[in-house]
């Protein structure tokens, strides 16, 4: 029973994702994207990631390079309604806040065009990226502790009136990708691309629950000491009130091919890209053992952390020499990948993303752009939890580019995403009845889950 009661489902691959992308994929790879997310038919240097076949239509032979950085912040808000949180006289509704900050999200893209051949590379964080911290934990940590006062009262203890605990969770997650390939213009208006990407997952997470206390006749008493004299209560409740800590890292990598096609004619450009699934196995490096109880976090345990296959298509059209509009569609085959604890079984089907953008060339020096996108995951209610949830999101970006001279260009952009709220209702909140083997009764509860995030981006292009 101990292991079941201590099982905390901390899924770290969503510590931070500023959608753009699938459940684990980050399609945001440049400041270009932030000011105009419809990059799937790009023929600029950022196409090294977004539309590599389109690099065949760069204007001149030579070496092109882009370096960009983004600053991203995300806030996760979880409002939990669960009667035991009231602690005898308190409020059964409690808000948990998770914040993440990624001050340095770099990306480098390069291409060398030599007539019909173009060789390119893109290096950046292709999945997640950043640190999320719940300074006061969440109901994943607190729900099991919250039932302790009720249990003690039911077993005859007098003067029980609340609880307290110290709880924290901090996770850092990122998947680095290095992509290399070549484009070839086999007809005046057609080009193709073949390349590979090596992806390397790095996940680091720490958490603890400690110093659990119970209010007894107006004083807070250490819960373990309180139940120590009762053998039955110790057996039943010690797994809930004992100090728990986790310090675990996961590392692993994999490689997959990428194919692309591009059609360019008279102001119209169509780009197509398919990224194959990257099979990645990560291995735990867990310090000081694992008293959280779940064997998933034991040292040396291996699990899959795949990077899903993705299909993308985009269209750009120059309405006039100054105005260009673009649209794009992405489909991520998330359900066909393998994730820790077989989370893919809780995904109904692949994630879809739709993007649109408009650019206006003010004059030879300045370009302004604006765009947006809709991210539409398809996950089951069982997938959603306070530590790991996917909501439909709406994003918009705006910014501009400044041609400093004939060889250098500066990109500046701002990007914001807001998410639908997801209401998850549970008849057995936290699976307390199930995980305790029926020792504790089922208690209903509800989680209201939402997020918001924003990014600033800056990028510098140079033509050698």
- CATH (domain of 133): 2.40.160.60
Least Cα distance to 292 among 245, 343, 227, 224 occurs for: 245
Quote the CA–CA distance of 457 and 412 in Å, as a whole number.
Answer: 6
Q: Residue 293 in contact with residue 286, Cβ under 8 Å? A: no
Phi, psi (deg, nearest 5) at residue 343: -60, -20
pLDDT of the residue at 2: 39
pLDDT of the residue at 53: 98
Cβ contacts of 263 within 8 Å, gap of 6 or more: 189, 190, 269, 270
**SS3 of 20, please?**
coil
Locate 52 and state its tokens: 């590599």
pLDDT of the residue at 264: 97
pLDDT of the residue at 297: 77
Report the first-to-last Cα separation within the chain, whole angstroms: 65
pLDDT of the residue at 206: 85
**pLDDT tens, the chain, 464 aa long:** 433 333 333 333 334 444 467 888 999 999 999 999 999 999 999 999 999 999 999 999 999 999 999 998 888 899 999 988 887 667 889 888 888 877 888 999 999 999 999 999 999 999 876 677 788 877 777 888 888 888 888 888 888 888 999 988 888 888 999 999 999 999 999 999 999 999 999 988 888 889 999 999 989 999 999 998 888 888 888 888 888 888 889 999 999 999 999 999 999 999 999 999 999 999 999 887 666 656 777 888 898 999 999 999 999 999 999 999 999 999 999 999 998 888 889 898 899 999 999 999 999 999 999 999 999 998 888 888 877 788 999 999 999 999 999 999 999 999 999 999 999 998 988 787 776 667 778 889 999 999 889 999 999 999 99
pLDDT of the residue at 17: 46
Quote the CA–CA distance of 17 and 452 in Å, as a whole number.
Answer: 11
pLDDT of the residue at 460: 97
How distant is the alpha carbon of residue 422 from its chain centre? 17
Residues in the chain: 464
**SS3 of 267, please?**
coil
pLDDT of the residue at 129: 62
Q: Residue 124 in contact with residue 178, Cβ under 8 Å? A: no
pLDDT of the residue at 20: 66
**Domain span at residue 415?**
2-463
Number of domains the chain contains: 1
Cβ neighbours, 10 Å, residue 42:
28
Element (H, E) at 340: none
Element (H, E) at 103: strand 93-114
Please name every residue paired with 135 in a beta bridge, in sequence order, or none if there are none.
none
How distant is the alpha carbon of residue 293 from its chain centre? 25
Q: Residue 439 in contact with residue 1, Cβ under 8 Å? A: yes
pLDDT of the residue at 7: 35
pLDDT of the residue at 11: 34
Quote the CA–CA distance of 109 and 411 in Å, as a whole number.
Answer: 14
Pairing of strands 351-361, 366-376: antiparallel
Cβ contacts of 227 within 8 Å, gap of 6 or more: 152, 233, 234, 237, 238, 241
How distant is the alpha carbon of residue 53 from its chain centre? 27
Question: How far is residue 426 from each of residues 90, 285, 339, measured CA to CA in Å?
Answer: 21, 34, 24
Cβ neighbours, 10 Å, residue 274:
15
**SS3 of 431, please?**
helix
């Amino acid at each position: 029973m101990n292991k079941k009661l201590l099982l905390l489902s901390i899924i770290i691959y969503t510590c931070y994702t500023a959608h753009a992308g699938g459940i684990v994929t980050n399609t945001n790879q440049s400041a270009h994207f932030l000011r105009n997310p419809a990059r799937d038919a790009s023929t600029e240097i950022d196409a090294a990631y977004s539309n590599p076949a389109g690099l065949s239509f760069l204007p001149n032979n030579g070496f092109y390079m882009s370096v960009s950085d983004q600053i991203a912040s995300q806030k996760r808000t979880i409002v939990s309604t669960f009667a035991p949180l009231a602690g005898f006289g308190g409020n059964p509704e409690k808000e948990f806040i998770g914040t993440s900050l990624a001050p340095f999200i770099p990306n480098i893209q390069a291409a060398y065009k030599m007539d019909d051949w173009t060789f390119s590379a893109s290096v950046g964080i292709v999945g997640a990226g950043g640190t999320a911290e719940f300074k006061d934990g969440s109901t994943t940590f607190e729900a099991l502790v919250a039932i302790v006062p009720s249990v003690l009262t039911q077993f005859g203890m007098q003067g029980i009136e609340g609880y307290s605990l110290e709880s924290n969770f901090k996770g850092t997650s990122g998947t680095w990708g290095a992509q290399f390939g070549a484009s070839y213009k086999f007809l005046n208006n057609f080009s193709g691309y073949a390349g590979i990407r090596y992806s390397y997952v790095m996940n680091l997470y720490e958490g603890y629950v400690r110093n659990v206390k119970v209010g007894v006749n107006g004083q807070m008493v250490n819960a373990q000491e309180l139940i120590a004299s009762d053998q039955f209560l110790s057996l039943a409740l010690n797994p809930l009130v004992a100090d728990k800590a986790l310090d675990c890292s996961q590392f692993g990598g994999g490689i997959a091919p990428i194919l692309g096609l591009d059609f360019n004619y008279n102001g119209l450009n169509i780009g197509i890209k398919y990224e194959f699934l990257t099979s990645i196995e990560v291995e735990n490096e867990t310090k000081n053992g694992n008293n959280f109880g779940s064997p998933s976090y034991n040292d040396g345990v291996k699990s899959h952390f795949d990077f899903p296959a993705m299909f993308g298509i985009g269209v750009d059209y120059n309405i006039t020499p100054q105005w260009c509009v673009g649209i794009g569609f992405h489909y991520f085959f998330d359900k066909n990948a393998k994730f820790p604890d077989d989370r893919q079984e809780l995904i109904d089907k692949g994630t879809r993303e739709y993007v649109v953008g408009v650019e206006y060339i003010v004059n030879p020096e300045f370009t302004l752009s604006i765009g947006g996108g809709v991210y539409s995951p398809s996950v089951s209610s069982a997938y959603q939890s306070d530590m790991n949830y996917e909501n439909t999101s709406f994003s918009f970006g705006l910014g501009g580019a400044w041609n400093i001279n004939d060889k250098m260009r500066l990109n500046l952009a701002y990007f914001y995403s807001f998410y639908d709220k997801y209401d998850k209702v549970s008849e057995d909140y936290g699976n307390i009845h199930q995980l305790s083997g029926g020792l504790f009764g089922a208690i209903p509860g509800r989680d209201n889950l939402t997020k918001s995030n924003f990014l600033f981006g800056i990028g510098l292009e140079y033509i050698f």
